Structure 1
Amino acid sequence: MPVIAYSDYHPPWFLRNGHVQSIVPILCRRVNGVEYKRQRLDTPDDDFLDLDFSLVGADRIAVVSHGLEGSSDRPYVRGMVRALNRSGWDAVAWNFRGCSGEPNRQLRFYHSGDTEDLHTVVSHILAEGHHSLIALIGFSLGGNITLKYLGERGVTVDPRITAAVALSVPCDLTTAAVTMSSSCNTVYMKRFLRMLHLKIQWKMQQFPGAIDDRDFQGIRTFHHFDERYTAPMHGFQSAVDYYEKASSLPFLARISIPTLLVNAADDPFLSPSCYPRDVARNQANLFLEVPAFGGHVGFMNWSADGEYWSERRATEFLRNWVDQRP
């Protein structure tokens, strides 16, 4: 019954607010001590992915997937990479299409269920043959991709992929989109839509006439944006079709490797169905941990080494499971 009944994350009183946890790290956190070496990987459809490696000479590597409109340079990604390196793991933080500082080649970019690009990254690392073990770590949208990828492959997943950690995951996109449209999340929605608008403007310059941003100011929610852009650009019939097919929730029962899902109870982005307790109770490989606090990709910690609780928890989980392997 891998629903973890007790979480040891107990922040001070002034961090016991989901919005504080979600916003302060974005504004204030700086992560030093991570130096990336970038590698560009071509995709089967003549596009590219930029992979940022931070290597310590280990025989194991963690693939880190960022969130919506994030990148390998986000503090939460750099913090996780640093913690992995300190724990004896090589790490690669890959950038979704169009998230590495320049537009990707194709009209499409990325979406919440885009597991093929993750598969391209994993296959490339396996083919290089430098590492005997791989772990997967994903945040938010990247966490949804990670969980869906593992569930899609089930027992056929490559045996060198040993464990996974997913943090702050909207695993039910349909209901999470409704939660995000609430008035208390207006500040987040405006920020995301502003960034997505810039991406659409990039595409308008690359592909004149293919799409437009007429009346973009009228878009107020993810559903509106996904109905107009994400769904048609990525082969879905509608936003509803996209959410149903891209959500990781239906795939969780098929995950075949030890996987930790950490969703804070006060995460303002998540709906009740994003806490899959019933699935975890009946799934030997899915470990669901629901700290009372932590917000969305927060889990702040004041420690001498600068690590957040989520980073300690992830490396602890990997250590516990990977070190048990024969």
Structure 2
Amino acid sequence: MSRTIVSADFRPPKGLANRHLQTLLPRLLPRRRLARDTEIINLPDGDFVELAWLRNAPVRHDAPLFILFHGLEGSFDSPYARDMLAAAARCGWRAVLMHFRGCGQASNRLPRAYHSGDTADAYWIIAQLAQRYPHAIKVAAGVSLGANMLVKLVAEQGGDGLDLAGAIAVSAPLDLAASADALNTGFARVYQRHLLKSLKRKIATKMSQGPLPISLTPHQLKELDSFWAYDNEVTAPLHGFASASDYYRRASAGRLLGDIEIPTLILHAADDPFMPGELFSRLPTPSDAVRVEIARHGGHVGFMERRGWRLSSWLARRITAQLNDWAALSPSTMGWSLQSASRSDS
């Protein structure tokens, strides 16, 4: 195993190691209550995104800033989002989530959506926040689709192109074609069907409001039953790709792991049902700026552990430890101390 790829210290509770159980558990537990303020940010192309700011943020203008990018059809209401934002706030960080276009409280304006390789909006938002909080340490985190997007962004922009001290990617589908295959197999089709239902509902609404650059009738849209089919007929033409294969090839961030210069933590479960088990064996060796922690169990954005008598998020605990480690360093000394990075029980 590469020295940049190590074992995570996540251990599931007895009887709760199944990958589908881990994936579904966070969605079955009571949702954490958090208050937010919504901010609309207009984009250069005339569209907009919604930012969800956690209330009771630090007063200090130079307080560290945690920026979260959600997964496919996720939002501020996603259990992992609330856990991660709350964890950052407990560490004294100002916490904000960027909704991808159309994933907030209002539909986006333009005849387009968002996709796994769409880095432009995140780049724009990070630049705006850099102007607003020039003296704050900033760390971005992405989950699932948002994680692939973030890894692609930090790889493309390098250490000088982004005002980020670090990045955290959770359950990132770094090989999109392989993930589309995995989600079209066995029980994982349940997740595929659920996500496609949400995606198709949004596109159907847009189709009823005006013409889109796709050659589908409402009935044909309804019949799309896999990500390969949906991405070939909707995602690709809507966002300038020749086909699903072209989209997966160009949008997958795994091929760029060796180019990353910003300290980046990747958290992954070997049993993630959204991906092949040997995901990292088919990807390039990560750069020295990357630390990949692979847990044997955890499912897709699951990582539920037992703390005392309660189930809780190991993911939030691991991120808390990482934010504390990074906040203790000045921007000039940001990097990997493998000893400190492994203190996930703090």
- Scaled to the shorter chain, the TM-score interval is over 0.9
Give the residue type in structure 2 aligned to 1:262: L
Residue aligning to 1:183: 186
- Bigger mean CA offset, 47-56 vs 208-217: 208-217
Residue aligning to 2:208: 205
Percent identity over the alignment? 36
Residue aligning to 1:57: 59
> Aligned runs of 1:12-27 on 2, under 5 Å?
12-27=13-28
Residue aligning to 2:80: 76
Q: Aligned match of 2:306 in 298, 302, 316?
A: 302
- Bigger mean CA offset, 99-108 vs 225-234: 99-108
Q: CA deviation at 1:189?
A: 1.1
1:203-258 deviations in whole A, cap 9, x for unaligned? 11221475532223431210100000000000001100000110001221111121
Residue aligning to 2:247: 242
* Cα separation, partners in 2 of 1:128 and 1:307, compared to 1, 3 Å: farther
* Cα separation, partners in 2 of 1:306 and 1:127, compared to 1, 3 Å: farther
* Cα separation, partners in 2 of 1:277 and 1:157, compared to 1, 3 Å: farther
Which residues of structure 1 form unaligned runs of 5+? none
Answering whether residue 111 of structure 2 is matched by residue 107 of structure 1, we say yes
Answering whether residue 198 of structure 2 is matched by residue 195 of structure 1, we say yes
- Bigger mean CA offset, 130-139 vs 189-198: 130-139
Instruction: Report the 3-state secondary structure (helix = DSSP H, G, I; strand = E; otherwise coil) of the residue aligned with 1:214.
Output: helix
8 Å CA contact retained: 1:277, 1:288 = no
8 Å CA contact retained: 1:103, 1:202 = no
Residue aligning to 2:41: 41
Instruction: Report the 3-state secondary structure (helix = DSSP H, G, I; strand = E; otherwise coil) of the residue aligned with 1:99.
Output: coil
Instruction: Report the 3-state secondary structure (helix = DSSP H, G, I; strand = E; otherwise coil) of the residue aligned with 2:250.
Output: helix
Distance 1:131 1:17 in 2: 44
Give the residue type in structure 1 aligned to 2:200: H
Residue aligning to 2:323: 318
TM-score (norm 2): 0.88
Instruction: Report the 3-state secondary structure (helix = DSSP H, G, I; strand = E; otherwise coil) of the residue aligned with 1:261.
Output: strand
* Cα separation, partners in 2 of 1:209 and 1:318, compared to 1, 3 Å: closer
Give the residue type in structure 1 aligned to 2:263: P
Instruction: Report the 3-state secondary structure (helix = DSSP H, G, I; strand = E; otherwise coil) of the residue aligned with 1:103.
Output: coil
Q: CA deviation at 1:277?
A: 8.2
- Bigger mean CA offset, 48-57 vs 85-94: 48-57
Instruction: Report the 3-state secondary structure (helix = DSSP H, G, I; strand = E; otherwise coil) of the residue aligned with 2:139.
Output: strand
After superposition, the CA RMSD in angstroms is 2.0
Distance 2:35 2:281 in 1: 36
Instruction: Report the 3-state secondary structure (helix = DSSP H, G, I; strand = E; otherwise coil) of the residue aligned with 1:71.
Output: coil
Give the residue type in structure 2 aligned to 1:69: E
* Cα separation, partners in 2 of 1:155 and 1:16, compared to 1, 3 Å: same
Residue aligning to 2:92: 88
8 Å CA contact retained: 1:67, 1:140 = yes
* Cα separation, partners in 2 of 1:131 and 1:39, compared to 1, 3 Å: farther
Distance 1:263 1:275 in 2: 10
Give the residue type in structure 2 aligned to 1:81: L
1:283-326 deviations in whole A, cap 9, x for unaligned? 21111111111100111133379751011111212322342325
Residue aligning to 2:138: 134
**Paired positions, count:** 323
- Bigger mean CA offset, 21-30 vs 79-88: 21-30
Distance 2:321 2:281 in 1: 22
Q: Aligned match of 1:173 in 176, 184, 187?
A: 176
